[in-house]
Every structure is written in structure tokens, then in C-alpha cells.
Amino acid sequence: MSPILQFRELRRSSGLSTGSNSKHDEQTCLIVGLGQRTKKKAIPSLLKLVKDGWVQITGAVDPFVQTAPIDKLSLYPTVNDFLKVNERPTVAYVAVPHHEYKNVLPGLFEAGTNVLKEKPVACNSSEAVELKRQADAHGVRVGVLCQRRFSRRYNALEGWIPLLGKISSVQVVETIDVAELAEGWRARKGLAGGGVVIDMGYHMLDQLVGLFGEQFTVRHAALMKTRQGDYDVDDTAHVSVEFAQGVNATVVLSRSGAKNEERISIIGEGGILSLDSDLVRLSLRDDTGSLTPTEEYTVQEPSSVLLERGLVSFMDGVDAQKWDLNRDIAVMKLIDEIYRLGNESLDTKVAQDPLTKAWSWPKVTLDVERAVDKQLHTTLSIYNNSGIFGQFEKAFSSFHNTPNHHALLHNSGTNALYALYYASGLGSGDEVIVPVYTFHATVSPLMHLGVKPVFVDAHPETGNIDPRKIARAITPKTKAVIVTHMWGVPCAMEEIVSICRKNDILLLEDCSHAHGASVNGQKTGTFGDGAAWSIQGDKVLSGGEGGVSLTPHSEVYYRQLIHGHYNKRCKSEIPKNHPLQEFAVTGAGLKNRAHPLAISIAKNQLEKLPAILYCKSKCVAHFIQTLAPVPFLKAPAVDVGCQPAWYALIFRFDETQAPPGLTRERYVQEVMARGMKHIDIPNSTRPLYDEALYKRPWDILGHVYKPNMYTVDWEAADFPGAVAFHSSVIKLPVWAYEDDWDTVEASAQVMLNVAIDFMKTTLN
């Protein structure tokens, strides 16, 4: 039976029942610890089981409570006091401050009483191991009441995970808002054993261990006190854990969150499995690689229901795996390691104002450092496609579902484009249709080939080349159309492909903004005769510096090798009887080889790319949703079937909808004044029609162009769409890690607040 069918069957059968106990002898229960949790949650659940005949409550122990919470229930100051005058109970429900467990439990073990206790299993793994030893010695059972082990939502995660195939990453966020962090024993490390990690975080870490196994390595742990106050434990933690099979989990825990959140995203080769509060959603990839919603499961599970399920399971003796103390010991070992790595800086580390966090990309995580270190000690020069070069190129082709295409690394995106243009046969006298609104590197390499650029206007709502205007620009001299997927939003590729095929001209893609973007499931970069990507700077997929190209044509690939990968690659990859083979030693005289350290980073980022794209999409959705009430901020226009890569998030400022006197510049200035420094008005990327390189290339490229070799037959009036788009855009970075979510929320809120304030105020 498939995992989906198995889980559907579980839902029909509804699992454990808390109905009448007709099969088992009634058990007796001693309550140890009468704190708020016991009074509000455990006792109502136990009373329900009393009514159903599962258990009889025989007493309660708490030295600080004078009045019993249940009528006629006898109170005792200690377990020993209870045992002196009562029969030993079958089971004891124990909920005391963490440091008290080691004092309370031995007496229950000696009496032969099974113990069901609240988390954690102990204050550290050594105590946990000793607890298990004592329980085994006395032949009693000990269970840690991790309620999520009895949650239908988490059962769904466990049941559906096999459908994802190899897991690439897991991202977890759990936050609550505790008003008084300095109150009670949980504010003291000596009493609680720690803060958010050992307390609230125990449940989520337990789930990760249950899902991915007891073998793990903590790669990073940052523990923080985010508020002023008299407490010495962590209230916030950012943790990175690597489980077996290369599963990397990022975990964010906080007791000082802005709101209550419980989210898990599990990203695998076959799809994405997510839990967000009451909703579990499974989306699987279809034959085109597109994510398709496959299953959803929604259920509200009050903690009282989970508690009842746990109590019945323990008393009934079923689901032994849910009560395996070795799992809890593994969870404690994980917690110990998190505290070992994180506690050194806890006293001085205070959570940073989210608006002051510097934007940095690619994010240098420990796995990035390990990848660089590994390559550093392997080789710093590669002359063929061996090692990290071959690994990346093969993985890049596979990612794009084009195993028979030729991927080739270069030392920059600009040179990747240059090599692609050269290899495609573009040359003197050719006309090439290009977008007028793009970064200049899309067009500039053409100028070293003697080409005349033919600029075409942009669609005013997307900034992408307008396919309606491409056909009008075609002449008998037109050799190719080049498109740029601006800011990561794909162009109208179906229309553009049709135009190029109809006119028998080449189609080349500049995908430097669009790593992993797609149209109806087909990745950008695979629609035409070749494509190039930058992997420089803060591109979605980055190695710091570098570029990569992809083409289905072997001849184009061989000419790219000749262009800048002379000697070994040419000798080994160009067929021996090919006319270009005699140029193998020298190539065309240029060198385009990438740096292995850069590619080691890029390879690491390529492995994370599905997770990065998923998180970027969530970030964009949050900005769009937050700013939806602002009429003068227009969200990106995305065609149906398009999945952007979100290199950047572009809002268009609509002055016709803004308060009188409010300009784009004034709005951005005020947002920055309130601390949101990441907002920008981009100007390096702009309409290119007036750049001297394209109007007078012969002034600096006289060896390629004769004076007045072509007529500049364009002017600003020819490009109203590009001018309108460029004059309205506001650019934001798109964050891609869960531990940046506070920055996302704070940034969006500042933009909203500024807009609201302007809309309330009459400007002069």
C-alpha cells in the first residue's frame, strides 16, 4: 500500500480511541506535580479517562500546594509520604521542574511504578542514560509524553516523506510569545537545564530525530537572549543540524516571537512536504518538474486531545516505538550538542535588530565553508572537466532536465554570453534583436563581434522584452533574438519561441536573473539554441564569481571550448576528426576557465537551489500580501504558468494612485530613514538606447567597427514601455533562509507603515 493510501486508512480508522476501556484492568495513577500545566491540561484529560474506565486517580504529590484540585483527592508532600499509606500506583504522571526529576523518579522506580513524565527526559543526556539504567534495573517502563508523536499532522509527515525521495533540506520555525521570560523556574538554567531548546524545542527536535534518525551532527548553534531581564537562559535559537543521508535541517526556535508559529518544510527530489499550523500539504513534481498539489490534510488538535492519546497509549502498552527511551536519549544528546556549541557566546549575544542585518549573498554557512575547505585541499587549478567542474556541469544539466545538453563553466556570466554569441556564429553585419531594458552585459559582448544591436521595447508591467514588438524588428539581416528574464520573472517564451521558429532565427537566453525559473514546468535556459547564467555576486545561484552556459548543439559547445578553454578540454572533448581539433592547443587565444573555489560554492548552492527558490517564493508572497492594501505599489506581473526565481522583488510605484506630491524617491527615502536600508531604486540596470557603446562603438572598438558602420535609428520615444518601467521600479532583495524571516516581516511592515502614514497626510 502506498504511503498516501496508508495515511488515508489511518484517518478512516482514526487510530487510538479514548473510548470505554473494556479490555484492560483499571489502572491506578498518582499525580506528581500540580503546576499550571497539570491543573489546566493533564487533570481534565485524566478525569475523562477516569470516566471511561481507564484509570483511577489515587493521590497527588506537591509540597507547595495546600488544596487539592479534585474533590476528595488526597495530597502528599512527597512520593515517599504517599507510598507509606497507599498501595503502589500502576502509573505515575510526573510534571515537575526539570531539575527535580532525578530526585522524584528513583522512589517511584523502587516501588515498581511505571512513569509517564513530561518532557524533557532529563536535564542532559548523562542524566537520561542513568534514568534509563535505573528504570531497567527495576523493571519499570518510563515514557516521555511528547504529544506530537500522537499528532495526526505529524503522522502525515511521517507517512508521506517516502514520496519525496532524497531529502535535500528541512526548515523548521517554531515561535511563541512569552510575556514574562524572567518569571518562574524556567528562567534559571540551574533549574531548567536550559531555555527554549530544552523546553519548547524538545518537541520539534524529537520530531526531527523521529523522522531522520538518531545519527546527526550539529553544524551551527546560535543561542540568544533577545530581551532585557533577569534570566540566564536562551529564549531564541538558530540551529543547523545534518542528519544521516545528507539531510540538512535549519531550526529556528523562539519564546520571544512576534506571533505563534509552527512550520516545517521538507524539500526533496520528488516534491515538498510542509506543515503550517493545522495544515499539512504534499506537493509532488510531475513529469515536467512542476510542483503539483497532491494531498492536503487539515485538523485542529488541541493539546488536550494529544495528551489523552498519549495517556491511553502508555496505559494500554501499545505503540512501543513511541515510548522508546533511546529516542529520548538521542534527543538529549542533540540538545547537549546544541548547548555545547551555542553557550559560549550566550551571555553577550543579543538578537540583532532585524532591520540592521546586512544583506549578504551567498550566505556563508558551515556547509559552504566545508565545501571550500575540501576544494582548497584538493586543487586550485583544473584544466579539464574533472573534479568539481565536471560535477557541477553534470548536476547543472540534470537540474534543468537536459541530460543531453552541454553545460560549460566560465569565469563570468559576461564571458559566458560572449562565448555563446561567438559560438553561435554571430558576426559583422548581423543584426541581433536585444532587450532595451536589461543590464548592459546582455548586449555588450555582441559589440566585440561587429554586430548591430536592434533594441526592442519592454512590456511596461514586467520589464521583459515585449514579444509583440519583436516581430516588427525582424529584417533579412536578423540572425538572433536575445531575451533576458528580468529580475527572475520569465519572459513570454511560448510567443517568442514561435516567432523565432517561424522566422528561422536563433533564440538565446540570458538567464543571469533566473536560475531555476520555469514556464509551464520547463526551466528557463532550455527554450532556445543556448543560454548563459551569471553565478556572480548576489545572483540566485552564486559562487561569488563565475558563469555557466548550456546548449543542445554540439557544434556550439565545441566553439565555446575553442573560445576560452584551450588545450586539455579541447583535446579531450572535441572529436579528433573535427576541423576545430587543430586549434585545440591555442584555442582562440582567450581564457575563460572558472576558479575551483568559486565552483565549490556554486555546487553547494545548486544542491540547495530548490530550497532557496521555495523560501524566496514565501518571502515574495509575504511582501505582496503585506503591501496589498497600498494602491500605489504594484506587485510584479507574472503570467499564469510562470514560476519566477526572484533574483529581486520589483514593485512599480504608480504616481497616479499615490497621494498628491508623493514621489517614488520620497517614499524610498522615508522607508530608508525608518531603518529599512535594503530598499533601492536600481539605475545600473536601465534602458540602453542612449549608451555610447551602442551608438558609437567605433570610437573604442575601431578594430571591429568602421566609423558609422551602422545607423543609429532609434530614440527614447521608441521605448515607452522600458522608460515607464524603469522610472517606476523599486527593488528589494529576496531573502531565502528561515532565520532571516524576522527581517522579511520587519521590512515589509516598515514599507506598509510608511505608505499608510503618507496616505493619511496631505503633502506640500
Q: What is the CATH number of the domain that holds 105?
A: 3.40.50.720
Look at residue 345 in the predicted model and tell me its pLDDT: 57
Residue type at 85 in one-letter notation: V
The answer to whether 173 and 745 are in contact (CB under 8 A) is: no
**Residue 130 maps to a domain:** no
Region 479-499 average pLDDT:
98
672 with 746, same domain: the answer is yes
85 with 210, same domain: the answer is no
Give the list of residues 6+ apart from residue 451 with CB closer than 8 angstroms, or none: 421, 426, 427, 428, 430, 431, 432, 479
Q: What percent of the chain has pLDDT over 90?
A: 72
**Residue 134 maps to a domain:** no
At 229-284, the pLDDT tens digits run: 778 889 999 999 999 988 999 999 999 887 889 999 999 989 999 999 999 999 99
Region 595-604 average pLDDT:
97
Name the DSSP class of 294.
Answer: E
Look at residue 459 in the predicted model and tell me its pLDDT: 97
325 with 370, same domain: the answer is no
Lowest pLDDT segment from 74-83, 118-127, 183-192, 382-391 = 183-192
At 293-336, the pLDDT tens digits run: 899 989 888 888 888 898 889 988 877 788 899 999 999 999 99
Of 299, 317, 347, the residue at which a domain comes to its end is 347
What distance in Å separates the CA atoms of residue 648 and residue 486, rounded to the nearest whole number? 9
Look at residue 540 in the predicted model and tell me its pLDDT: 97
What distance in Å separates the CA atoms of residue 666 and residue 664, rounded to the nearest whole number? 6
The domain total for the chain is: 4
∠ Cα 294 734 531 (to 5°): 80
At 324-365, the pLDDT tens digits run: 999 999 999 999 999 999 876 555 455 568 898 888 899 888
Print the SS3 string covering 83-113: HHHCCCCCEEEECCCHHHHHHHHHHHHHCCC
pLDDT classification of 20: cutoffs 50, 70, 90? low
Look at residue 350 in the predicted model and tell me its pLDDT: 54
At 506-544, the pLDDT tens digits run: 999 999 999 999 999 999 999 999 999 999 999 999 999
The C-alpha cell at 218 is 550539529
Look up the pTM and report it: 0.69
Question: Is residue 610 reached through a cis peptide bond, with omega within 30 degrees of 0 on the bond before it?
Answer: no
Of 606, 637, 666, the residue at which a domain comes to its end is 606
Q: What percent of the chain has pLDDT over 70?
A: 95
Look at residue 348 in the predicted model and tell me its pLDDT: 46
Residue 4 has pLDDT above 70, yes or no: no
550 with 616, same domain: the answer is no
Mean of the per-residue pLDDT values of the chain: 91
595 with 629, same domain: the answer is no
**Residue 4 maps to a domain:** no
What distance in Å separates the CA atoms of residue 617 and residue 272, rounded to the nearest whole number? 13
600 with 706, same domain: the answer is no
Region 207-235 average pLDDT:
90
652 with 718, same domain: the answer is yes
186 with 335, same domain: the answer is yes
Bridge pairing between strands 216-224 and 236-243: antiparallel
Look at residue 468 in the predicted model and tell me its pLDDT: 94
**Residue 190 maps to a domain:** yes
Residue 748 has pLDDT above 80, yes or no: yes
**Residue 526 maps to a domain:** yes
**Residue 16 maps to a domain:** no
Region 71-99 average pLDDT:
91
Q: What is the CATH number of the domain that holds 613?
A: 3.90.1150.10
**Residue 529 maps to a domain:** yes
Domain of 450 in residue numbering reads as 366-606
99 with 199, same domain: the answer is no
189 with 337, same domain: the answer is yes
172 with 305, same domain: the answer is yes
Of 73, 100, 118, the residue at which a domain comes to its end is 118
**Residue 553 maps to a domain:** yes
80 with 194, same domain: the answer is no
- DSSP labels, 497-550: HHHHHHHT-EEEEE-TT-TT-EETTEETT-SSSEEEEE--TT-SS--SS-EEEE
Q: What is the CATH number of the domain that holds 555?
A: 3.40.640.10
